[in-house]
Amino acid sequence: MVAPGPMKDSALTRRIFNHGVTALHTLAEEYGWTIREQAALASASGPEGLLAIDAPAQALKQATIALEQRYPLGRLWDIDVLTAEGEILSRRHFALPARRCLLCGQSAAECARGKTHALTDLLTHMEALLHDADSRQPD
């Protein structure tokens, strides 16, 4: 999860996280990949999940990048993919730019470091993205 501010574990971040887990299950099903094991926990750093998906790491990372780009909440998910050797595949492995700011489109790292935006503005935007995602869910 990408969660601005000091409060990383909240009802908001847990709901966004749950959308991500559901999206990963759907992704695995679409590709015919098996989820061998999964675990989730909530800590001070926010909700975290671990899914062991039987898939080639490169293909899985490419699919999760597309997932993050396709879903309204995808920008808030921080889906790491590890190879069998334990190497974390990052966006850089695929010549993709670093994440952009939720509000202004500049470098997310620079905006976070410079505290460019008010926390309330970021949280309000996250809530709007969640509302949009919830409204797309079938009843």
Provide the pLDDT for residue 34.
98
- pLDDT score, position 98: 83
Can you give the residue ranges of every domain in the chain?
11-136
Residue 43, φ and ψ in degrees, nearest 5? -135, 180
Q: What is the mean pLDDT of each run of 10 residues along the chain (139 residues)?
A: 91 96 97 98 93 97 94 92 94 86 92 95 96 82
Residue 136: predicted pLDDT: 83
**Residue 46 Cα distances to 11, 70, 77, 108, 113, angstroms:** 10, 23, 11, 18, 19
Alpha carbon 62 to chain centroid distance? 14
Q: What is the pTM of this model?
A: 0.90
Two structure tokens written together for 44: 């001070």
Which of helix, strand or coil describes residue 99? coil
Cα 20 to Cα 61, 104, 119, distances in angstroms: 14, 23, 22
Q: Scanning the structure block, which residue is given the tokens 């966004």?
A: 16
Half-sphere exposure of 138 (CA within 13 A, CB side): 0
Output the pLDDT for position 138: 67
